[in-house]
Chain A
């Protein structure tokens, strides 16, 4: 078939272009717009170049909450990924027990974010919360509203409780997709349990683990409601994570220029780290 060159064909790209424009480019451009101008009101905008970016990057409050955010996401991944794999490995393979297990494990995923925050806010209280009261009864001084470490542990525990099921469910689906023949061959080859995990299960979980790591990183890096409801960012600013700082800046102080500049940096960090994870995992064992 002969190809006829006709530039009008470019019009066919229009629907996709419009879709992308409305879903991503136009909303994003408003933020870009604010990030390079100082806007006082309609018709009163002054171009400030990279000024906001420089200010934001030098802002110690933001630097602190960025570091806090990285530490938090790091712990989330370190705890939830291995724990999720472990839970998936221990779940019954099939039958009524398997279904029951799936439902029970999925329950935290169905609870709205702010409810999760509220649940833990009460659950972990020393006076009326079962968890907080129980810990105190064990003779451990625990108070998440006053103690930084306690507040951190509570926020982490809440996130682990809320989101490990997601990792577990993803891994469970990955594990079920491994044909029985692999386990039979391993049994015949006298492979140890560890070898079965290392050489059969883990390699075959790779694709779901990429998804799990990316989802958990992005979600935890953008976490807002749960710690906001649970600790309100305190004590002090010890559990104030990035999006809370950003919200305070944009809505509390109405500092739109800096908030916009910081939003862009925030977005680029999420994008960059996700890309790094993805490339690192997919290229980890390429052909020698």
Chain B
């Protein structure tokens, strides 16, 4: 359970520097040194006055089970949002004015975010899940043309380790 710092919450009171027994919190890039961190000692977490440090879990439980009636309905909405993302992305490239393109870019980004969230709730929240593993395995077995098989295979190895 290594400690991690959320730099946006950090108010530079630096209690973590004083309490860390291994010097892991004092780094030039503000990221707590995972190698040095004692993992689980929580001295910095408890001392931080702004709640900017937390312990990262070693494992994650599976996502709450999803019913097919729910995931089907969410998937259809996500599909529509993905289609709208693509349509607005096309306008973003070919729109006649910088304002049109700006508006299209905002709409495109918005649709991507909604599609992501709907898919997350349709059973694809956890990167280490069986569902994701199954999807990656099927894609590496019969990859579409140009698919980055190396990346998928590497993920299968890495994610197997962190479950």
- B is a partner of A: no
